[in-house]
């Protein structure tokens, strides 16, 4: 089969024929119809993000496709089913604290690297082999709809954070990083889950206005100034009442003061979700006040990705009409032009924009 292969960091992807995946027990092989190119893929492939990848590797974080083959433990899937392939691979021998590997992206720790050696290659290929539990049925869709269904990959990340924080209908949420690709998805997901209001801080006034245009008055935009104390006060004033939950998904390049200003807006007994890149590449930490966390009874959730049942629940929100996929505009490339797709994704990294590879 044809695939895009990263042979060394900082070199272009090689488009070449590689052996097709071989089915094992507890696995599914899927023909990839569409896979999204994450906006920072160029930083992963260059080595800038210092992600743990066993090279050579086929990159690509999940996608949408049709089942080619199933193992004996699959009782609901059938060959030909349209499915979402999730990249979050978990070890099966420790339900409490499993090792995690993001197939085709990165691994965490020694156990994650061991997982990566087996579930090695990602979705920039004609076929992918994934654990059975990483395949979720979409129901009947058309090939032309596959691109938009890939938006679930953006939405699942914040959805996992909100599930961890037990977001309730009627609550007020602040999304730190709301004008980014994952942040704008967080705004949509919070509203779909029933948030009464989403405070959306950012410096891009055009994009803040666009969030309001798309999602209405439940979105309260806040133009950030860069002054930590002033920004914290402005965000609090924008909310109709106490802020129940703060969700952060800022990238590594953002100053910790910006993140801290958002976190400090949460009410007593409130929850904070950390899913961003602060301190990923070294440097200062958040330096949150110990006494404030303790006396205000603040709960802080560090969340990486999402639980195994999240995809089923998120698809149900889409099918119920609570979460729309048609906000996304897509630009598609074939597999032969995977390097062009990576460059395009980096240059067009804003919200409501997805770059696709269609193998």
Q: Mean pLDDT, to the nearest integer, of 82-100?
A: 95
285: confidence class by pLDDT, cuts 50, 70, 90 = confident
CATH number of 156-302: 3.40.50.720
Q: Is the pLDDT of residue 101 over 80?
A: yes
106: confidence class by pLDDT, cuts 50, 70, 90 = very high
Q: Is the pLDDT of residue 348 over 80?
A: yes
Q: Mean pLDDT, to the nearest integer, of 75-97?
A: 95
Say what the pLDDT of residue 66 is.
98
Q: Mean pLDDT, to the nearest integer, of 118-147?
A: 96
Q: Mean pLDDT, to the nearest integer, of 236-250?
A: 97
184: confidence class by pLDDT, cuts 50, 70, 90 = very high
Say what the pLDDT of residue 94 is.
92
Q: Mean pLDDT, to the nearest integer, of 111-126?
A: 95
Q: What superfamily would CATH give domain 2-151+325-358?
A: Medium-chain alcohol dehydrogenases, catalytic domain (3.90.180.10)
Say what the pLDDT of residue 280 is.
73
Q: Mean pLDDT, to the nearest integer, of 257-277?
A: 96
Q: Mean pLDDT, to the nearest integer, of 132-156?
A: 95
Give ranges for CATH 3.90.180.10 in the chain: 2-151+325-358
Give ranges for CATH 3.40.50.720 in the chain: 156-302
**pTM of the prediction?**
0.94
Highest mean pLDDT among 278-282, 296-300, 302-306: 296-300
206: confidence class by pLDDT, cuts 50, 70, 90 = very high
Q: Is the pLDDT of residue 349 over 90?
A: no
User: What is the 3 state secondary structure string of the chain?
Assistant: CEEEEECCCCCCCEEEECCCCCCCCCEEEEEEEEEEECCCHHHHHHCCCCCCCCCCECCCCCEEEEEEEECCCCCCCCCCCEEEECCEEECCCCCCCCCEEECCCEECHHHHHHHHHHCCCCCCECEEEEEHHHEEECCCCCHHHHHHHCCHHHHHHHHHHHHHCCCCCCCEEEEECCCCHHHHHHHHHHHHCCCCEEEEEECCHHHHHHHHHHHHHHEEEEECCCCHHHHHHHHHHHCCCCEEEEEECCCCCCCHHHHHHHHCCEEEEEEEEECCCCCCCCCCCCCCCHHHHHHCCCEEEECCCCCCCHHHHHHHHHHCCCCCCCCCEEEEEEHHHHHHHHHHHHHCCCCCEEEEEEC
57: confidence class by pLDDT, cuts 50, 70, 90 = very high
Say what the pLDDT of residue 284 is.
74
253: confidence class by pLDDT, cuts 50, 70, 90 = confident
The overall average pLDDT reported for the chain is 95
Distance CA 65, CA 290 (A): 47
Say what the pLDDT of residue 279 is.
78
Q: Mean pLDDT, to the nearest integer, of 312-322?
A: 97
């Amino acid at each position: 089969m044809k695939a895009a292969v990263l042979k060394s960091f900082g070199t272009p992807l090689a488009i070449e024929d590689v052996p097709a995946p071989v089915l094992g027990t507890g696995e599914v092989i899927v023909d990839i119809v569409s896979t999204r190119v994450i906006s920072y893929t160029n930083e992963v492939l260059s080595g800038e993000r210092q992600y743990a990848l066993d090279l050579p590797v086929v990159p690509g974080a999940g996608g949408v496709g049709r089942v080619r083959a199933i193992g004996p433990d699959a009782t609901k899937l059938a060959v030909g089913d349209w499915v979402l392939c999730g990249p979050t691979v978990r070890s099966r021998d420790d339900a409490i604290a499993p090792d995690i590997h993001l197939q085709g992206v990165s691994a965490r720790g020694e156990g994650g690297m061991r997982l990566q050696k087996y579930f090695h290659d990602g979705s920039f290929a004609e076929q992918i082999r994934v654990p059975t539990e990483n395949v979720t049925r979409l129901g009947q869709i058309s090939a032309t709809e596959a691109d938009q269904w890939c938006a679930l990959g953006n939405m699942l990340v914040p959805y996992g954070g909100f599930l961890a924080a037990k977001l309730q209908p009627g609550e007020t949420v602040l999304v730190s990083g709301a004008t980014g690709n994952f942040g704008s998805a967080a705004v949509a997901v919070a509203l779909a889950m029933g948030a009464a209001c989403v405070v959306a801080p950012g410096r891009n006034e055009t994009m803040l206005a666009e969030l309001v245009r798309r999602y209405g008055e439940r979105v309260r935009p806040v133009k950030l100034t860069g002054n930590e104390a002033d920004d914290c006060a402005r965000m609090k004033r924008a909310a109709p009442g106490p802020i129940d939950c703060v969700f952060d998904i800022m990238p590594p390049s953002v100053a910790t003061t910006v993140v801290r200003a958002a976190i400090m807006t949460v009410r007593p007994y409130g929850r904070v979700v950390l899913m961003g890149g602060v301190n990923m590449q070294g440097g200062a930490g958040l330096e949150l006040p110990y006494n404030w966390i303790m006396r205000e009874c603040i709960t802080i959730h560090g969340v990486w990705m999402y639980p195994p049942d999240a995809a089923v629940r998120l698809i149900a929100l889409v099918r119920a009409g609570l979460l729309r996929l048609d906000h996304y505009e897509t630009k598609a490339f074939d597999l032969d032009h995977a390097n062009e797709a990576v460059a395009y994704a980096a240059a067009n990294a804003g919200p409501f924009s997805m770059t696709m590879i269609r193998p």
